[in-house]
Protein backbone atom coordinates (compact mmCIF):
# COMPACT_ATOMS: atom_id res chain seq x y z
CA UNK A 1 0.00 0.00 0.00
CA UNK A 2 1.50 3.32 -1.11
CA UNK A 3 2.31 5.66 1.77
CA UNK A 4 0.77 9.14 1.46
CA UNK A 5 2.10 12.14 3.37
CA UNK A 6 1.15 15.76 4.02
CA UNK A 7 3.73 18.21 2.66
CA UNK A 8 1.88 21.53 2.56
CA UNK A 9 -0.81 23.36 4.54
CA UNK A 10 -2.90 26.44 3.86
CA UNK A 11 -5.72 28.07 5.79
CA UNK A 12 -7.83 31.16 6.01
CA UNK A 13 -10.18 30.93 8.95
CA UNK A 14 -12.04 32.81 11.67
CA UNK A 15 -8.86 32.35 13.71
CA UNK A 16 -6.44 33.91 11.23
CA UNK A 17 -5.54 34.61 7.64
CA UNK A 18 -2.93 31.86 7.37
CA UNK A 19 -1.76 28.65 9.02
CA UNK A 20 0.55 30.19 11.67
CA UNK A 21 -2.21 32.53 12.91
CA UNK A 22 -4.83 29.79 12.86
CA UNK A 23 -2.65 27.26 14.68
CA UNK A 24 -1.53 29.80 17.29
CA UNK A 25 -5.17 30.53 18.12
CA UNK A 26 -6.00 26.82 18.34
CA UNK A 27 -3.10 26.16 20.69
CA UNK A 28 -3.95 29.16 22.84
CA UNK A 29 -7.65 28.37 23.00
CA UNK A 30 -8.75 31.65 21.42
CA UNK A 31 -12.21 31.93 19.95
CA UNK A 32 -13.02 33.26 16.48
CA UNK A 33 -16.71 33.52 17.36
CA UNK A 34 -18.21 36.97 17.74
CA UNK A 35 -20.95 39.41 16.70
CA UNK A 36 -21.96 39.31 13.04
CA UNK A 37 -20.47 42.22 11.09
CA UNK A 38 -20.82 41.02 7.48
CA UNK A 39 -24.52 41.86 7.21
CA UNK A 40 -27.40 43.46 9.03
CA UNK A 41 -28.76 41.34 11.88
CA UNK A 42 -32.12 43.13 12.02
CA UNK A 43 -33.99 40.09 10.69
CA UNK A 44 -31.89 37.51 12.51
CA UNK A 45 -32.64 35.82 15.81
CA UNK A 46 -29.03 34.62 16.12
CA UNK A 47 -26.48 37.41 15.92
CA UNK A 48 -23.15 35.59 16.26
CA UNK A 49 -20.96 33.75 13.79
CA UNK A 50 -17.35 32.77 13.14
CA UNK A 51 -16.34 35.24 10.43
CA UNK A 52 -13.09 35.61 8.52
CA UNK A 53 -11.93 39.16 9.26
CA UNK A 54 -9.47 41.20 7.23
CA UNK A 55 -9.42 39.08 4.09
CA UNK A 56 -8.36 41.15 1.07
CA UNK A 57 -8.69 38.98 -2.03
CA UNK A 58 -6.83 41.42 -4.25
CA UNK A 59 -3.63 40.53 -2.40
CA UNK A 60 -3.63 37.01 -3.84
CA UNK A 61 -5.97 37.18 -6.81
CA UNK A 62 -5.99 38.97 -10.12
CA UNK A 63 -8.35 41.93 -9.51
CA UNK A 64 -9.92 41.30 -12.91
CA UNK A 65 -10.92 37.78 -11.82
CA UNK A 66 -12.38 38.66 -8.41
CA UNK A 67 -15.83 39.68 -9.74
CA UNK A 68 -16.16 36.21 -11.30
CA UNK A 69 -15.59 34.41 -7.98
CA UNK A 70 -17.88 33.89 -5.03
CA UNK A 71 -16.26 34.33 -1.62
CA UNK A 72 -16.01 30.57 -1.06
CA UNK A 73 -13.88 30.35 -4.20
CA UNK A 74 -11.71 33.30 -3.19
CA UNK A 75 -11.01 31.64 0.16
CA UNK A 76 -10.14 28.34 -1.52
CA UNK A 77 -7.72 29.95 -3.97
CA UNK A 78 -6.03 31.83 -1.12
CA UNK A 79 -5.62 28.73 1.08
CA UNK A 80 -4.40 26.64 -1.86
CA UNK A 81 -1.76 29.25 -2.66
CA UNK A 82 -0.40 29.12 0.87
CA UNK A 83 -0.40 25.30 0.85
CA UNK A 84 1.46 25.09 -2.45
CA UNK A 85 4.03 27.67 -1.36
CA UNK A 86 4.48 25.82 1.92
CA UNK A 87 5.02 22.53 0.09
CA UNK A 88 7.81 23.92 -2.08
CA UNK A 89 6.34 22.04 -5.02
CA UNK A 90 7.41 23.21 -8.47
CA UNK A 91 4.44 22.81 -10.76
CA UNK A 92 6.20 22.34 -14.06
CA UNK A 93 4.27 20.85 -16.97
CA UNK A 94 4.83 17.21 -16.02
CA UNK A 95 4.13 17.67 -12.30
CA UNK A 96 1.01 19.75 -13.00
CA UNK A 97 -0.39 16.98 -15.21
CA UNK A 98 0.01 14.47 -12.35
CA UNK A 99 -1.52 16.77 -9.72
CA UNK A 100 -5.20 16.70 -8.79
CA UNK A 101 -7.38 19.46 -7.33
CA UNK A 102 -10.04 17.86 -5.13
CA UNK A 103 -12.00 20.18 -2.87
CA UNK A 104 -15.15 19.96 -0.80
CA UNK A 105 -18.02 22.36 -0.21
CA UNK A 106 -21.47 21.89 1.21
CA UNK A 107 -23.26 24.80 -0.45
CA UNK A 108 -21.01 26.49 -2.99
CA UNK A 109 -21.61 30.09 -3.99
CA UNK A 110 -24.30 31.08 -1.53
CA UNK A 111 -23.33 34.75 -1.43
CA UNK A 112 -23.72 35.01 -5.20
CA UNK A 113 -27.00 33.14 -5.02
CA UNK A 114 -28.42 35.33 -2.25
CA UNK A 115 -27.29 38.56 -3.91
CA UNK A 116 -28.89 37.64 -7.22
CA UNK A 117 -32.12 36.33 -5.72
CA UNK A 118 -32.37 39.66 -3.90
CA UNK A 119 -31.93 41.52 -7.17
CA UNK A 120 -34.48 39.31 -8.90
CA UNK A 121 -37.22 39.06 -6.29
CA UNK A 122 -36.79 42.15 -4.12
CA UNK A 123 -35.47 44.70 -6.58
CA UNK A 124 -37.31 43.39 -9.62
CA UNK A 125 -34.25 43.09 -11.86
CA UNK A 126 -35.04 41.83 -15.34
CA UNK A 127 -31.48 40.69 -16.08
CA UNK A 128 -28.71 39.15 -14.00
CA UNK A 129 -24.96 39.02 -14.55
CA UNK A 130 -24.09 36.43 -17.21
CA UNK A 131 -21.54 34.73 -14.92
CA UNK A 132 -23.82 34.08 -11.94
CA UNK A 133 -23.87 30.37 -12.79
CA UNK A 134 -20.08 30.09 -12.70
CA UNK A 135 -19.98 31.90 -9.34
CA UNK A 136 -22.70 29.77 -7.76
CA UNK A 137 -21.63 26.31 -8.96
CA UNK A 138 -20.03 24.21 -6.20
CA UNK A 139 -17.19 23.13 -8.48
CA UNK A 140 -16.03 26.73 -9.01
CA UNK A 141 -13.44 26.50 -6.23
CA UNK A 142 -11.64 23.55 -7.81
CA UNK A 143 -11.82 25.17 -11.24
CA UNK A 144 -10.31 28.44 -10.10
CA UNK A 145 -7.58 26.76 -8.03
CA UNK A 146 -6.53 24.70 -11.05
CA UNK A 147 -6.61 27.78 -13.30
CA UNK A 148 -4.75 30.05 -10.87
CA UNK A 149 -1.91 27.57 -10.27
CA UNK A 150 -1.81 25.80 -13.63
CA UNK A 151 -2.83 22.38 -12.30
CA UNK A 152 -3.89 20.23 -15.25
CA UNK A 153 -4.61 16.90 -13.58
CA UNK A 154 -8.08 15.78 -12.42
CA UNK A 155 -10.09 18.63 -10.88
CA UNK A 156 -13.47 18.39 -9.15
CA UNK A 157 -15.45 19.14 -6.01
CA UNK A 158 -17.16 16.80 -3.58
CA UNK A 159 -20.38 17.83 -1.88
CA UNK A 160 -21.69 15.71 0.99
CA UNK A 161 -22.86 18.30 3.51
CA UNK A 162 -20.53 18.62 6.50
CA UNK A 163 -18.45 15.60 5.42
CA UNK A 164 -17.55 17.19 2.07
CA UNK A 165 -13.92 18.06 2.81
CA UNK A 166 -13.33 14.76 4.58
CA UNK A 167 -14.63 12.86 1.58
CA UNK A 168 -12.54 15.04 -0.76
CA UNK A 169 -9.35 14.25 1.16
CA UNK A 170 -10.27 10.56 1.24
CA UNK A 171 -10.76 10.58 -2.53
CA UNK A 172 -7.36 12.21 -2.96
CA UNK A 173 -5.81 9.47 -0.81
CA UNK A 174 -7.42 6.75 -2.93
CA UNK A 175 -6.19 8.29 -6.19
CA UNK A 176 -2.66 8.68 -4.83
CA UNK A 177 -2.56 5.09 -3.64
CA UNK A 178 -3.85 3.88 -7.00
CA UNK A 179 -1.04 5.69 -8.80
CA UNK A 180 -3.46 7.83 -10.80
CA UNK A 181 -1.74 11.00 -9.55
CA UNK A 182 1.46 11.95 -7.72
CA UNK A 183 0.19 15.03 -5.85
CA UNK A 184 -3.18 16.25 -4.60
CA UNK A 185 -4.26 19.74 -3.60
CA UNK A 186 -7.23 18.91 -1.40
CA UNK A 187 -9.44 20.29 1.37
CA UNK A 188 -12.51 22.48 1.37
CA UNK A 189 -14.02 25.94 1.55
CA UNK A 190 -17.30 27.51 2.60
CA UNK A 191 -18.77 31.03 2.76
CA UNK A 192 -22.33 30.64 3.96
CA UNK A 193 -22.80 33.74 6.12
CA UNK A 194 -25.78 35.22 4.30
CA UNK A 195 -29.29 36.19 5.33
CA UNK A 196 -30.79 33.27 3.46
CA UNK A 197 -28.25 30.86 4.89
CA UNK A 198 -28.83 32.00 8.45
CA UNK A 199 -32.59 31.86 8.21
CA UNK A 200 -32.51 28.25 7.00
CA UNK A 201 -30.29 27.24 9.91
CA UNK A 202 -32.43 29.21 12.37
CA UNK A 203 -35.41 27.21 11.14
CA UNK A 204 -33.64 24.00 12.19
CA UNK A 205 -33.28 25.37 15.73
CA UNK A 206 -29.71 24.14 16.08
CA UNK A 207 -27.94 27.52 16.29
CA UNK A 208 -26.80 28.93 19.60
CA UNK A 209 -27.25 32.60 20.40
CA UNK A 210 -24.46 32.39 22.98
CA UNK A 211 -21.36 30.41 22.01
CA UNK A 212 -20.35 26.89 21.05
CA UNK A 213 -19.86 24.55 24.05
CA UNK A 214 -19.32 21.05 22.68
CA UNK A 215 -19.95 18.17 25.09
CA UNK A 216 -20.98 20.52 27.93
CA UNK A 217 -24.20 20.11 29.90
CA UNK A 218 -25.22 23.70 29.09
CA UNK A 219 -24.44 23.52 25.37
CA UNK A 220 -27.10 25.17 23.23
CA UNK A 221 -26.12 24.58 19.62
CA UNK A 222 -23.62 25.26 16.86
CA UNK A 223 -22.14 28.46 15.45
CA UNK A 224 -21.95 28.93 11.69
CA UNK A 225 -18.51 29.79 10.33
CA UNK A 226 -16.68 30.39 7.07
CA UNK A 227 -13.20 29.69 5.78
CA UNK A 228 -10.99 27.31 3.85
CA UNK A 229 -8.18 24.87 4.47
CA UNK A 230 -6.06 22.98 1.96
CA UNK A 231 -3.56 20.15 2.30
CA UNK A 232 -0.94 19.12 -0.24
CA UNK A 233 -0.70 15.32 -0.29
CA UNK A 234 1.99 13.27 -2.02
CA UNK A 235 3.22 9.75 -2.21
CA UNK A 236 6.04 9.39 0.32
CA UNK A 237 8.55 8.40 -2.38
CA UNK A 238 7.61 11.45 -4.45
CA UNK A 239 8.04 13.72 -1.45
CA UNK A 240 11.39 12.19 -0.50
CA UNK A 241 12.67 12.43 -4.07
CA UNK A 242 12.28 16.21 -4.05
CA UNK A 243 13.43 16.65 -0.44
CA UNK A 244 10.07 17.90 0.82
CA UNK A 245 9.34 18.40 4.50
CA UNK A 246 6.67 16.07 5.83
CA UNK A 247 4.12 17.07 8.45
CA UNK A 248 2.40 13.73 8.98
CA UNK A 249 1.22 10.62 7.19
CA UNK A 250 -2.37 10.16 6.04
CA UNK A 251 -2.72 6.56 7.12
CA UNK A 252 -6.23 5.82 6.00
CA UNK A 253 -9.81 6.91 5.50
CA UNK A 254 -13.19 5.45 6.31
CA UNK A 255 -16.73 6.27 5.28
CA UNK A 256 -20.22 5.00 6.03
CA UNK A 257 -23.88 5.89 5.67
CA UNK A 258 -26.29 5.75 8.61
CA UNK A 259 -29.17 4.82 6.27
CA UNK A 260 -31.45 6.14 8.98
CA UNK A 261 -32.58 9.74 9.60
CA UNK A 262 -31.50 12.82 7.65
CA UNK A 263 -30.89 15.17 10.61
CA UNK A 264 -30.11 12.94 13.60
CA UNK A 265 -26.82 11.06 13.35
CA UNK A 266 -26.37 7.41 14.28
CA UNK A 267 -23.77 6.16 16.76
CA UNK A 268 -23.44 2.96 14.78
CA UNK A 269 -22.81 4.83 11.52
CA UNK A 270 -20.12 7.03 13.02
CA UNK A 271 -18.45 4.05 14.67
CA UNK A 272 -18.50 2.14 11.38
CA UNK A 273 -16.62 4.98 9.64
CA UNK A 274 -14.06 5.13 12.44
CA UNK A 275 -13.48 1.39 12.33
CA UNK A 276 -13.20 1.56 8.55
CA UNK A 277 -10.54 4.27 8.80
CA UNK A 278 -8.52 2.20 11.26
CA UNK A 279 -8.85 -0.90 9.09
CA UNK A 280 -7.77 1.06 6.02
CA UNK A 281 -4.82 2.43 7.98
CA UNK A 282 -3.99 -1.06 9.26
CA UNK A 283 -3.63 0.13 12.83
CA UNK A 284 -5.19 -1.09 16.06
CA UNK A 285 -7.56 1.09 18.04
CA UNK A 286 -5.12 0.95 20.97
CA UNK A 287 -2.79 3.28 19.03
CA UNK A 288 -5.31 6.13 18.82
CA UNK A 289 -4.19 8.93 21.12
CA UNK A 290 -6.39 11.74 19.81
CA UNK A 291 -9.77 12.19 18.14
CA UNK A 292 -10.60 15.54 16.59
CA UNK A 293 -14.34 15.25 17.07
CA UNK A 294 -17.10 16.49 14.81
CA UNK A 295 -18.26 18.06 18.08
CA UNK A 296 -20.92 20.52 16.97
CA UNK A 297 -22.24 21.44 20.40
CA UNK A 298 -25.77 20.31 19.55
CA UNK A 299 -27.99 18.18 21.76
CA UNK A 300 -28.04 15.39 19.19
CA UNK A 301 -24.42 15.17 18.02
CA UNK A 302 -22.35 15.20 21.18
CA UNK A 303 -23.67 12.15 23.09
CA UNK A 304 -24.12 10.25 19.83
CA UNK A 305 -20.54 10.92 18.76
CA UNK A 306 -19.31 9.99 22.23
CA UNK A 307 -21.06 6.64 21.86
CA UNK A 308 -19.52 6.24 18.38
CA UNK A 309 -16.05 6.71 19.86
CA UNK A 310 -16.78 4.14 22.57
CA UNK A 311 -18.02 1.63 20.00
CA UNK A 312 -15.06 2.14 17.68
CA UNK A 313 -12.22 2.36 20.19
CA UNK A 314 -13.47 0.20 23.04
CA UNK A 315 -11.40 0.67 26.23
CA UNK A 316 -9.05 3.03 24.36
CA UNK A 317 -11.85 5.61 24.21
CA UNK A 318 -11.24 6.44 27.87
CA UNK A 319 -7.49 6.76 27.36
CA UNK A 320 -7.60 8.92 24.22
CA UNK A 321 -7.99 12.69 24.16
CA UNK A 322 -11.03 14.06 22.33
CA UNK A 323 -11.52 17.71 21.45
CA UNK A 324 -13.74 19.86 19.28
CA UNK A 325 -12.01 22.76 17.58
CA UNK A 326 -15.45 23.98 16.43
CA UNK A 327 -15.58 25.59 19.85
CA UNK A 328 -13.04 28.07 18.42
CA UNK A 329 -13.58 28.31 14.66
CA UNK A 330 -17.28 27.44 14.49
CA UNK A 331 -18.86 25.03 12.05
CA UNK A 332 -17.44 25.56 8.55
CA UNK A 333 -19.91 23.07 7.04
CA UNK A 334 -18.26 21.68 3.88
CA UNK A 335 -14.88 23.04 4.95
CA UNK A 336 -15.08 21.68 8.51
CA UNK A 337 -13.27 18.45 7.69
CA UNK A 338 -10.42 20.39 6.10
CA UNK A 339 -9.72 22.84 8.93
CA UNK A 340 -10.04 19.98 11.42
CA UNK A 341 -7.70 17.75 9.40
CA UNK A 342 -5.20 20.61 9.43
CA UNK A 343 -5.56 20.95 13.20
CA UNK A 344 -5.04 17.20 13.59
CA UNK A 345 -1.89 17.22 11.46
CA UNK A 346 -0.38 20.10 13.45
CA UNK A 347 -1.35 18.45 16.74
CA UNK A 348 0.69 15.42 15.67
CA UNK A 349 3.64 17.53 14.52
CA UNK A 350 3.82 19.60 17.71
CA UNK A 351 2.61 16.93 20.17
CA UNK A 352 0.01 19.45 21.30
CA UNK A 353 -3.73 18.77 21.43
CA UNK A 354 -5.96 21.81 20.92
CA UNK A 355 -8.65 22.21 23.57
CA UNK A 356 -12.42 22.24 23.65
CA UNK A 357 -12.97 25.77 24.90
CA UNK A 358 -16.05 27.12 26.71
CA UNK A 359 -16.29 23.73 28.41
CA UNK A 360 -18.15 23.82 31.74
CA UNK A 361 -19.22 20.35 32.91
CA UNK A 362 -19.82 17.23 30.91
CA UNK A 363 -23.30 16.73 29.51
CA UNK A 364 -25.34 13.57 29.89
CA UNK A 365 -23.85 10.81 27.77
CA UNK A 366 -20.56 12.72 27.39
CA UNK A 367 -17.98 10.89 29.49
CA UNK A 368 -14.65 11.19 27.64
CA UNK A 369 -11.56 13.37 28.10
CA UNK A 370 -12.53 16.45 26.07
CA UNK A 371 -9.33 18.42 26.81
CA UNK A 372 -11.29 21.23 28.47
CA UNK A 373 -10.26 24.85 27.91
CA UNK A 374 -6.47 24.43 27.71
CA UNK A 375 -4.25 22.73 25.14
CA UNK A 376 -2.40 19.65 26.36
CA UNK A 377 1.05 18.37 25.50
CA UNK A 378 0.91 14.73 24.43
CA UNK A 379 2.80 12.55 21.98
CA UNK A 380 0.39 11.33 19.33
CA UNK A 381 0.92 8.07 17.50
CA UNK A 382 -2.39 7.95 15.60
CA UNK A 383 -5.18 10.54 15.43
CA UNK A 384 -8.64 10.43 13.90
CA UNK A 385 -10.57 13.36 12.44
CA UNK A 386 -14.34 12.84 12.39
CA UNK A 387 -16.86 14.46 10.04
CA UNK A 388 -20.47 13.35 10.48
CA UNK A 389 -22.93 15.04 8.14
CA UNK A 390 -26.65 15.51 7.70
CA UNK A 391 -28.04 12.71 5.61
CA UNK A 392 -26.03 10.21 7.64
CA UNK A 393 -22.88 10.75 5.59
CA UNK A 394 -19.78 9.95 7.64
CA UNK A 395 -16.11 10.48 6.87
CA UNK A 396 -13.14 9.72 9.12
CA UNK A 397 -9.47 10.37 8.38
CA UNK A 398 -6.61 8.62 10.19
CA UNK A 399 -3.31 10.47 10.50
CA UNK A 400 -0.03 9.35 12.03
CA UNK A 401 3.39 10.63 12.87
CA UNK A 402 5.73 10.68 9.86
CA UNK A 403 8.73 8.56 10.90
Flag whether 363 is in a domain.
Answer: yes
Helices (H) and strands (E) in the chain, counts: 14, 14
Flag whether 89 is in a domain.
Answer: yes
> Could you tell me if 218 and 364 are in contact, meaning their C-beta atoms sit under 8 angstroms apart?
no
On whether both 258 and 237 belong to a single domain, the answer is no
Flag whether 217 is in a domain.
Answer: yes
Sequence-ordered strand ranges (E) for 206-269:
227-235, 248-257
> Under 8 Å CB-to-CB from 403, ≥6 apart: which residues?
none
On whether both 169 and 203 belong to a single domain, the answer is yes
Mean pLDDT across the stretch 247-251? 98
> Could you tell me if 296 and 216 are in contact, meaning their C-beta atoms sit under 8 angstroms apart?
no
Q: What is the largest CA-CA distance in the chain?
A: 63
CA-based nearest residue to 228, from 334, 154, 85, 86: 334
H or E element at residue 396: strand 393-400
User: Which of 213, 241, 269 delimits the end of a domain?
Assistant: 241
Sheet architecture: strand order including 382-389 = 155-158, 99-104, 183-190, 227-235, 4-12, 248-257, 393-400, 382-389, 288-292, 321-323
On whether both 135 and 282 belong to a single domain, the answer is no
Q: Which of 157, 162, 212, 366 is catalytic?
A: 162
Flag whether 69 is in a domain.
Answer: yes
Distance of CA 66 to the CA centre of its chain: 23
User: Which of 241, 274, 306 delimits the end of a domain?
Assistant: 241
On whether both 222 and 269 belong to a single domain, the answer is no
Flag whether 121 is in a domain.
Answer: yes
Q: Note if 331 is an active site residue.
A: yes
CA-based nearest residue to 388, from 298, 287, 282: 298
> Under 8 Å CB-to-CB from 293, ≥6 apart: which residues?
214, 215, 305, 309, 322, 323, 324, 386
Total domains in the fold of the chain: 2
Flag whether 390 is in a domain.
Answer: yes
Q: Note if 53 is an active site residue.
A: no
pLDDT for 76 equals 98
Mean pLDDT across the stretch 151-164? 98
Cβ count near 339 (within 10 Å) = 35
Residues 76-125: tens digit of each pLDDT: 999 999 999 999 999 999 999 999 999 999 999 999 888 888 888 878 88
Q: Which of 294, 321, 329, 366 is catalytic?
A: 294
CA-based nearest residue to 360, from 210, 229, 185, 244: 210
On whether both 273 and 235 belong to a single domain, the answer is no
Give the pTM.
0.97
On whether both 237 and 263 belong to a single domain, the answer is no
On whether both 228 and 257 belong to a single domain, the answer is no
On whether both 228 and 265 belong to a single domain, the answer is no
On whether both 29 and 155 belong to a single domain, the answer is yes
On whether both 315 and 338 belong to a single domain, the answer is yes
Mean pLDDT of the chain: 96
pLDDT for 1 equals 61
Q: Which of 144, 167, 329, 331 is catalytic?
A: 331
pLDDT for 157 equals 98
CA-based nearest residue to 393, from 174, 158, 163: 163
On whether both 33 and 164 belong to a single domain, the answer is yes
pLDDT for 120 equals 80
Flag whether 246 is in a domain.
Answer: no
Mean pLDDT across the stretch 341-348? 98
pLDDT for 133 equals 87
Residue 128 has pLDDT above 90, yes or no: no
Q: Looking at residue 373, which CATH number applies to its domain? A: 3.40.47.10
Residues 29-80: tens digit of each pLDDT: 999 999 999 999 999 999 999 999 999 999 889 898 899 999 999 999 999 9
On whether both 227 and 119 belong to a single domain, the answer is yes
Flag whether 71 is in a domain.
Answer: yes
User: Which of 221, 241, 261 delimits the end of a domain?
Assistant: 241
- Which backbone phi and psi does 341 adopt, to 5 degrees? -65, -40
What range defines the domain where residue 277 resides?
252-400
Q: Note if 238 is an active site residue.
A: no
Amino acid sequence: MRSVVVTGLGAISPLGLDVPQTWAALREGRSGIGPITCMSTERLQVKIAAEVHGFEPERVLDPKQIPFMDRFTQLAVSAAGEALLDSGLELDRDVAARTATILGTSIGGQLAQDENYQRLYEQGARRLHPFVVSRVMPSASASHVSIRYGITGPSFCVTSACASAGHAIAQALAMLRAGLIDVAVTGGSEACLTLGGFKTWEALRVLTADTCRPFSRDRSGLVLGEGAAVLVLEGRDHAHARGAKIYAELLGAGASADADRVIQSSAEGGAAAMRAALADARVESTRVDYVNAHGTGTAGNDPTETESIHQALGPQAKRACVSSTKSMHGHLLGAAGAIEALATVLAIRDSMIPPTIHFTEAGEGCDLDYVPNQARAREIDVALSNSFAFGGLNSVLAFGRAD
